[in-house]
Amino acid sequence: MAKLYFRYGAMNSGKSTALLQAAYNYEERGQRVLLAKPGIDTKGDDEIVSRLGVTRRVDVVFGPGDDVLDVFRSRRREVHDATGSDIACLLVDEVQFLTPEQVDDLLRIAIVEGVPVLAYGIRTDFRTMAFPGSRRLLEIAHSLEELKTICRCGRKAVFNPRKIGDRFVFDGDQVAIDGGEVTYESLCGACYLAESGGQLSPAGA
């Protein structure tokens, strides 16, 4: 049985690089893959952008209201009709931005369609609150794998605080795409608490 894999880590842990490497590994063996990302991730528009500078155009961009299973089935038919080949794997970048219902469809793709799904993303936002898509993946994925990176102090980074300019901020909308004034720094728990004044989530959350 094909499986749904959730490979997660703090920002700058090499998730997009790992995804592109996985795609290369499949294709090196003559197998066809589909690369996808949520439309809310506007960084690179319709490309996956690795922090090492490697980019690749995605095959599918999922909108917030899209039926992921239907979209996958349609693209699978298109690929088969055009090439005679089947899809060996679906790889999804920035998966935290999918809705829980769309994540459920990723599981259906693995189980019902028999196609492995490799989903890459982060667990929590800049306030340490779980993204709905990531929460659902933690509940239903067959396999969970943490991709690690280090904090500025040398310990393992686990949180993703937001910066505007040089200043850390701990309130605001859950989603603000990295770039321009808004950036993120991966921190360990101790450094996060030092920057937030001991705060772990917004008041009332």
Exposure string for 166-181, b = 16+ CB within 10 A, e = fewer: eebebeeeeebeeeee
HSE value, Cβ hemisphere, 13 Å, CA-based, for 22: 22
What are the catalytic residues? Answer: 94
Instruction: Determine if residue 48 is left, alpha or beta; phi over 0 gives left, psi from -120 to 50 gives alpha, anything else beta.
Output: beta
State both tokens at 134: 């990531």
